[in-house]
């Protein structure tokens, strides 16, 4: 019996030290110490011992039990720690890894410029007006003193849906819609998209943007037009910037002019931006034609006005020295993120 107990102890010690998880440990406990376990089986043979041997074997059996229990406890603590360690490794979360960056967008360069211009006009008491991009020839042409048969209406240049519906070719149509709905004094700007049947190249696109301006009040003169545009460009480019007005022709203004700006890049010296001219052609403008006011039931003997229209793409390209208009529409982040 002594040998049996000794060998039980040795085999239990060995098995316990090899156990690698808590389930295995539990089955070893059952195997050695359980009711039908090996130790119980040995103790059942106590009856066959000589009476003086029984207490000695009893004490030895207790030692073996204690030893196995002690090892069970020790291994259970060790295995728990190992299992925790393993679990932590499996659920590996490395908080030192860089996180996935959210890319925040920002304003498109054209919106940067448009918003600046709108803000400057707001500070001068202008409101922002809008009109539809699908227009009738009346608002796009007729009421702007551009009668049927005028070359500007040519189907070669303009997107018609039908004889009486087209994509507006200019934001000037908003002038008419605004004057029909407001009475003077009127001070508005109308930024928006316009369409022309142009092929895409570095300076053309069949869809582009304009910002229209209109002022109608008593005693409005060419001087007010000049002062307003001068203020706009001094705000945009600095007090030493100059404007220059050259006679031109538009059907809806009389007199009409094109406004040049002294080059903001070289301050008039001549450079790449102004192509050596010192001046940059900026926009069309003029005094509202009396016939346009009449179309809108505004008495031209009481009221006068001025108007202007500028190309947003062109202004953006000049400001940021962008050489190809297509860059503004291609949405290439490598380009756009520079602004």
Using the rule CB under 6 A, is 146 a contact of ligand DAH? no
The verdict on whether omega for the bond into residue 185 sits within 30 degrees of 0, i.e. cis, is yes
Q: Interacting stretch for ligand DAH, rule CB under 6 A, among 18-26, 89-97, 279-287, 313-321?
A: 279-287
228 lies in the site for ligand DAH, by CB under 6 A = no
* Order of all β-strands in the sheet with 253-262: 127-128, 186-195, 207-217, 304-311, 279-288, 253-262, 243-250
Residue 3 in tokens: 């040998």
The residue from 208, 308, 318, 322 that contacts ligand DAH (CB under 6 A) is: 308
Among positions 170, 228, 243, 304, the unique one binding ligand DAH when judged by CB under 6 A? 170
Told to check if 137 binds ligand DAH by CB under 6 A, we report no
72, 129, 285, 292: which one contacts ligand DAH (CB under 6 A)? 285
For residue 286, state whether it binds ligand DAH (rule: CB under 6 A).
yes
Interface with ligand DAH by CB under 6 A: which range of 57-65, 176-184, 303-311, 320-328? 303-311
Q: If you count DSSP H runs as helices and E runs as strands, how many of each does the chain have, helices first?
A: 11, 10
Do residues 65 and 46 touch, judged by C-beta distance below 8 A? no
Hey, what are 89's tokens? 């490794």
202-230: string of b/e by CB count within 10 Å (b at 16+)?
Answer: eeebeebbbbbbbbbeeebeeebbbebbb
Q: Is 304 in the site for ligand DAH (CB under 6 A)?
A: no
Q: Report d(CA 310, CA 213) in Å as an integer.
A: 9
Residue 279 and residue 101: Cα distance in Å, rounded? 44
Give the residue, chosen from 309, 315, 317, 322, that forms a contact with ligand DAH under the rule CB under 6 A. Answer: 309
Q: Give the nearest distance from C-beta 325 to ligand DAH in angstroms.
A: 16
Minimum Å distance from CB 323 to ligand DAH? Answer: 22
Question: Is 191 a residue that touches ligand DAH (CB under 6 A)?
Answer: no
| Positions that interact with ligand DAH (CB under 6 A) | 170, 172, 212, 250, 253, 284-286, 307-309
């Amino acid at each position: 019996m002594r040998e049996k107990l000794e060998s039980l102890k040795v085999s239990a010690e060995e098995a316990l030290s090899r156990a690698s998880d808590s389930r295995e440990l539990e089955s070893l406990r059952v195997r050695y110490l359980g009711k039908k376990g090996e130790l119980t089986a040995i103790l059942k043979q106590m009856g066959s011992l000589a009476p003086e041997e029984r207490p000695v074997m009893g004490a030895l059996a207790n030692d073996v039990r204690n030893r196995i229990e002690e090892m069970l406890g020790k291994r259970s603590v060790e295995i728990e720690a190992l299992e925790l360690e393993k679990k932590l490794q499996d659920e590996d979360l490395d908080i030192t890894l860089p996180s996935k960056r959210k890319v925040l967008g920002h304003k498109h360069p054209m919106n940067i410029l448009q918003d600046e211009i709108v803000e400057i006009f707001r500070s001068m008491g202008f409101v922002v007006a809008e009109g539809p991009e699908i227009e009738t020839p009346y608002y796009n042409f007729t009421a702007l003193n551009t009668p049927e048969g005028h070359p500007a209406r040519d189907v070669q240049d303009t997107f018609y849906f039908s004889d009486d519906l087209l994509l507006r070719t200019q934001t000037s149509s908003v002038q008419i819609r605004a004057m029909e709905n407001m009475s003077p004094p009127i001070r508005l700007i109308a930024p928006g998209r316009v369409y022309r049947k142009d092929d895409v190249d570095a300076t053309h696109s069949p869809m582009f943007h304009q910002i229209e301006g209109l002022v109608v009040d008593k005693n409005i003169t060419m001087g007010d037009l000049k002062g307003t545009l001068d203020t706009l460009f001094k705000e945009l480019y600095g007090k030493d910037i100059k404007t220059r007005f050259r006679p031109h022709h538009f059907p809806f203004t009389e007199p009409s002019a094109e406004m040049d700006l002294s080059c903001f890049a070289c301050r008039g010296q001549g450079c790449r931006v102004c192509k050596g001219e010192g001046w940059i052609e900026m926009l069309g403008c003029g005094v509202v034609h009396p016939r346009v006011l009449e179309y809108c039931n505004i008495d031209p003997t009481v009221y006068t006005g001025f108007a202007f229209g500028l190309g947003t793409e062109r202004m953006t390209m000049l400001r940021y020295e962008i050489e190809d208009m297509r860059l503004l529409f291609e949405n290439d982040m490598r380009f756009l993120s520079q602004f």
